[in-house]
Structure 1
Amino acid sequence: MLRRLTAALFTLSLSAISLFMRDVKPLGYFTIKSIMGGGAYATKEYVTFPALLWVCLLGSPVIIVGLGLIEKRKKQLLDRLLLFYLATALAHAVVDVLKFVVSKERPDYLDRCGRFKSGHKFDDGKRSFPSGHSALGAGTAVFLGCASFSALKRAGSLVKRSLVIYVGIIIPCLLAVFVCVSRVLDNRHDVVDVSAGALLGAVVSSGVYIKGGKGLRGFGQV
């Protein structure tokens, strides 16, 4: 119980750090140009961050619970949910700190300068590396993939196995790819930002899933 509480408090602390860093103006000691600079500022995005966040934070737990029921491991559901939120919070804390330090220009930075002289949208023009959307999308897909592979070992019937593969692996991966591509199409990131964000999210999620399962009592059965 104490370790679960510690994990929950650590997750909340990471979330607070992430929220704080998102409102801090990037350092900007040096200029890093985008390899796809000169793009137009998109007033409407294919995937907004709040929408993606709600889908991942509310939709993923439903899948995680479903996978746990298929595995018949109801006692470990809370542990796995804590791991998921911990992985998400950790990835985004790292992303926001990197955005603050690196201060790379977005592909639409020049257009932003013409539209906005100051404020959040202007400052956000130097928060290109790495892509937070990509980190969240890929991280979620990898975590669900890890949980799905675990569920496949205990999913007896063909129907259950097919359900696990499509809902837990294929659909999350396709959505993650769509999110990554949309960031490039929206001129919010270049391929370097998206690749780095996706890799970061994947590494953090897989690391938390594996290490968390070994390092915390009660998480060992994930």
Structure 2
Amino acid sequence: MPRNGFAAGSASPRSPQNEITGTMSRLYQRSYPVVDTVALACIVGTWILIQFFATPFHRMFSLDNKSIQFPYAVVERVPVVWSIIYAGVIPFLILLVWAAVFRPYPHKVQVTLLGFLIALMLTSLVTDIIKNAVGRPRPDLISRCIPRKGTPEDALVSWTVCTQPSEHMLQEGWRSFPSGHSSFSFSGLGYLSFFFSGQMHVFRPRTDLCRSLIAFVPLLVALLIAISRLDDYRHDVYDVTCGSVLGLSIAYFSYRRYYPTLRSVTCDMPYGRDDALGSDGFSKLADDEEQQILGHGSGSRQWQPREESYPLATAATS
């Protein structure tokens, strides 16, 4: 009789709970881009609510603080609309042209565009949350504020001393950290740079310089956009540096959710729908007994009982 009650040729039983878990995990594998799209819509909705209802924390300031006495630039070198075009619209069109010319399979196009949009919107959401929570004054705050006459110059004052008629212009004076232009540009253009690097195998050995420069150009454009915020006195170096690191980090996070590392042999191919989990979904690790069953034979073989002999030791009698 076989040991442990296993009948010959019988399969290991599966509980209903494991069946449900496996079904749900397989369903998620097939539809995870749809789930990510729903999450992206939630990110966009939250960002819109912040734009309409959130106000920044107003840090106190002093009129004799030279770091916030820079003039207000009426004409920006890179306005908000053009930053969206440079770091959002143009990279998105480049990805659409890539899809139209090379015609990759639909899953690759889907996850590439989805990762790009997630990088942009997640960066915008995180940046605005930090901006409103920190409430750091911009370098041109006093020019925006237009403080009342008689305001003491050597004492800390609150934002109520400001006489600026434009509410939007005044509130933006406390949204200096981190730089939104920097984070947004390094998010969109950084994602495009990662994508170029993966598709052209830039980090593989003996890659030619031309492909490396093509992948580097988006980062250079993002850097120029970030530097323009210093020239317009909208931010200081600290704001621009932290914003750039934030945008590039989220871009890499979003890219790596769908693509392998850039040094991988298959760095130009996204993860497949079935790569995240096994065919049976989430499952527990096999214990010692199950490992013995799998090790002694495949599913087609039967676990035959082995004959064991236990010789009796005879005691010598004197």
Give me the TM-score of the superposition, normalised by structure 2: 0.59
How large is the Cα RMSD of the aligned pairs? 2.8
In structure 2, the CA distance between the partners of 1:118 and 1:153, relative to structure 1 (3 Å rule), is: closer
SS state of the match for residue 45, structure 1?
coil
Alignment of 1:158-197 (within 5 A): 162=210, 165-167=212-214, 169-197=215-243
Higher radius of gyration, 1 or 2: 2
Post-superposition shift, 1:38? 1.2
Shift of 1:56: 2.6
* Displacement after TM superposition at 1:83 (Å): 0.4
Partner in structure 2 of residue 96 of structure 1: 128
CA distance in 2, matches of 1:77, 1:181: 32
Separation of aligned partners in 1, 2:88 and 2:171: 27
* Equivalent residue letter for 2:81: P
Distance 2:193 2:184 in 1: 14
Structure 1 gap ranges (5+): 155-159
Aligned counterparts, 1:1-222, within 5 A? 2-23=31-52, 24-28=54-58, 30-31=59-60, 36-67=67-98, 73-75=104-106, 76-114=108-146, 116-117=164-165, 119-153=167-201, 162=210, 165-167=212-214, 169-213=215-259, 219-220=270-271
Q: Per-residue deviation at 1:7?
A: 1.4
| Partners of 1:98 and 1:31 in 2: CA distance | 18
**How far off its partner does 1:190 sit?**
0.7
Alpha-carbon distance between aligned partners in 1 of 2:38 and 2:217, rounded to the nearest angstrom: 31
Q: Could you list the per-position Cα deviations for residues 107-130 of structure 1 after superposition, in whole angstroms to 9, with x for gaps in the alignment?
A: 000110117245111011000010
- Structure number with the higher helix fraction is 1
Once the two structures are TM-superposed, the CA of residue 67 in structure 1 deviates from its matched residue by: 4.8
1:157 maps to what in 2? none
In structure 2, give the amino acid aligned to 1:26. P
Deviation readout 1:137-162 (Å, 9 max, x if unpaired): 111222112111111139xxxxx984
Q: How many residues align?
A: 210
* Letter matched to residue 73 of structure 2: A
Q: Secondary structure at the match of 1:220?
A: coil
Q: Match of 2:56, as an amino acid? A: P
Q: Secondary structure at the match of 1:111?
A: helix
TM-score by length of 1: 0.83
- 2:193 maps to a residue whose letter is G
Distance 2:88 2:219 in 1: 16
Matched residues, percent identical? 23
How has the CA–CA distance of structure 1 residues 151 and 219 changed in structure 2, closer, same or farther, with 3 Å as cutoff? Answer: closer
Higher relative contact order (CA 8 A, sep 6+): 1
